[in-house]
Amino acid sequence: MTAHDEYYKMLSPEFKYTRAFCTAEDVSMAESIRKFVNKEIMPRRQDLEGGWHRDEKLAIETQHELYAKLVGLGVTKSNLPTEYGGLGLSPVVRQMVNEEISRGDIGLGTLVGKIHWIVSFMVAAKRDDLLKEFAPRIIGEDSWTACVAITEPAGGANLEDPGQQFRTVRTIAKPDGDDYVINGHKIWPGPAGALGRFQSKDMKGHLGYWTVATTDPAKGEEGVALIHIPPDAKGMTFSNPYEKMGFCWSDENVEIYFDNVRVPKRYRIDTEPGQGANLVRGLVIGLGRLAGAARLVGLSQAVMEIVLNSAKHREIVGMPMRERSLFAMYLAEMYRYIDMARQYYLTTTWQVTHPELYGPPWSHEMVAKFSASRSFAGDCARYVCNTGMEMMGSYGYAYEFNLEKYMRDYKIVQMWLGGAHRDRLDIAQGLYGPFTWGGFDEWEKTQKLSK
Ligand SMILES: Cc1cc2nc3c(=O)[nH]c(=O)nc-3n(C[C@H](O)[C@H](O)[C@H](O)COP(=O)(O)OP(=O)(O)OC[C@H]3O[C@@H](n4cnc5c(N)ncnc54)[C@H](O)[C@@H]3O)c2cc1C
C-alpha cells in the first residue's frame, strides 16, 4: 500500500469541501480527479522531473502525456461558459480541481490553471469575439498550453504593487493603424519558448502570450493594456529556459524580447478606459494568487499524507510514531493549517461569485482577500513541508519519498505574483488603503522612459 491508497475521511473531497460553497456534482468531479491523481500522477511524480538524473525527454513526455489525459477529463474547459462549448463550472469548482491536481503535482495544476486564467480574462472583458476564436482549441480533443507575461527586469513586485500604479511597466504598445507595435522585455514568463517546445504527440501547441503592456508608462493605470500575442509573432525571441530549484519542466520560464512585434488591435483584451488595470490587478494578479492558494493546499495535503504514512510505520518504543503525543500534535497542527487554508480560499472564491455583495475582483478589498488566501496557504505549505521533513528525518530528505520535491515546488508558488511580502502589503491596502509611495514622482524623473 502506498501513502495515497490509505483513506482518511477528513481529507476526502466528500468531507473537506464545504457544501455551503459547492454542489454534490462538484464534489463528485473532485472525487474523480482525486482517483485519477492517485492512479496516474502519484506513481509518475518523479518522471515529471525526468527522474533523479533529470532526463529532459522523459520529463517533457510525461508532462505532455499526463496533461493530455487531464484535458481529456475536461478540466481545462471547466470555466469556459457553456455557450462556447465549455463546462461553465463555477470558480469554486475550478479551485477544487486546482487543489486535487496539485496534490499530485503542482506543476501540472499550474499548467491546467493557465487555460482557466486566460479564459477568465476574456470572460471578464466580455470578449465574445476572442472567446469564439479560442474556444474550438480549448474544447477540442487536442491539448494546448498558454502563458501570461507580466514580470519585467525592473522588478516583478514593482509591477504588482498598486502603489506604483503600473508606472514601472516598460513593455510599450504603440497604436499604429489597425495594429499595436510592441517593444519590450519580459523575464520569467512560462510556459514560454520556441513553438517546437510545445509540439509533441500529446501536445498540439501554444495559444500564445497574454502580455501586460502599457501605451505610455506616464499614464499609469490609464495606460495599462492586456494584449494577446500569438506564439509565432514576428519579432518575438526567447532566451534559453532558466535553470531553477523546482518546476523544472512543468513551467519552462524564459526571457521574451519584443522587437516591433505587430498584433491587430482586437487582440487588446481590455476595451474601456481603466479596464486594463482592473484586469491586471484583479484577474492576472488577484485570481492568480487565489489559484495559488488552492494549489498550495493540495500540495500540503499530499505532504501530510506522506508523513501520516511514515509515522504509522516508524515505531518509537513499540508504538507507531503517530500515536506518540508529540508527533500526534504535529500532525494535528498540519491538519489545522491545511483545513483553515482550504476553508479560507473557498470562502474567498465564493465571494468572487457574488460581486454584488463583495465588489469586483479588482477592488482593493478583494485583492486583499486573495492575498490573504495565498499568503496563509504559503505559510501552511512551509509549516507542513518543514515539520513533515523533520518528522521523517533522512527519509524526508531522500528523493525516493517525494517530500523534497513538494518542498522545492511550494516555495515559488508562495513567491510569484509579488510574493509573501506584497501579499501582506496588499492586505493593508485593502484594510486602510489604497496608499501610494511618497517620493515616486521624484524617482520617476530620474528614469528614462522607453519610447
Ligand atoms: C517558476 C517560476 C514561474 C514564474 N512564472 C511567471 C509567469 O508565468 N509570468 C510572469 O510574468 N512571471 C513569472 N514568474 C516571475 C515571478 O512572478 C516574479 O519573480 C515575482 O513576482 C517576484 O518578482 P521578482 O523576482 O522580480 O522579485 P523583486 O520584485 O525583485 O522582489 C524581491 C523580493 O522583495 C519583495 N518586494 C519587492 N518590492 C516590494 C514592495 N514594494 N513591497 C513588498 N515587498 C516587496 C518581494 O516580495 C520579493 O520577495 C515566475 C517565476 C518563477 C521562479
Residue 299 neighbours by CB distance under 10 Å: 29
Amino acid at 413: V
185 strand-pairing partners: 257
Q: Measured in angstroms, how far is the CA atom of residue 274 from the centroid of ligand 1?
A: 24
Q: Measured in angstroms, how far is the CA atom of residue 368 from the centroid of ligand 1?
A: 18
CA-416 nearest atom, ligand 1:
17
CA distance 55 to 213: 36
Q: Please report the pLDDT score of residue 394 as a whole number.
A: 97
Q: Whose CA is nearest to atom 50 of ligand 1?
A: 188
pTM: 0.96
- Spatial contact of 86 and 132, defined as CB atoms under 8 Å apart: no
Domains of the chain from N-terminus onward: 3-145 (1.10.540.10), 147-272 (2.40.110.10), 277-432 (1.20.140.10)
CA distance 393 to 17: 32
CA-160 nearest atom, ligand 1:
21
Question: Cell digits for 372?
Answer: 490573504
145 strand-pairing partners: 206
Question: Cell digits for 317?
Answer: 518504543
Q: Measured in angstroms, how far is the CA atom of residue 168 from the centroid of ligand 1?
A: 14
Chain position carrying cell 481590455:
270
Q: Whose CA is nearest to atom 30 of ligand 1?
A: 155
Residue 212 neighbours by CB distance under 10 Å: 27
> Taking Cα atoms as reference points, which of 143, 145, 226 lies closest to residue 193?
145
Question: Residue-wise pLDDT tens for the chain (451 aa)?
Answer: 455 567 899 999 999 999 999 999 999 999 999 999 999 999 999 999 999 999 999 999 999 999 999 999 999 999 999 999 999 999 999 999 999 999 999 999 999 999 999 999 999 999 999 999 999 999 999 999 999 999 999 878 888 888 888 889 999 999 999 999 999 999 999 999 999 999 999 999 999 999 999 999 999 999 999 999 999 999 999 999 999 999 999 999 999 999 999 999 999 999 999 999 999 999 999 999 999 999 999 999 999 999 999 999 999 999 999 999 999 999 999 999 999 999 999 999 999 999 999 999 999 999 999 999 999 999 999 999 999 999 999 999 999 999 999 999 999 999 999 999 999 999 999 999 877 776 666 666 666 554 4
Three-state DSSP at 366 gives helix
Q: Measured in angstroms, how far is the CA atom of residue 414 from the centroid of ligand 1?
A: 10
Amino acid at 237: T
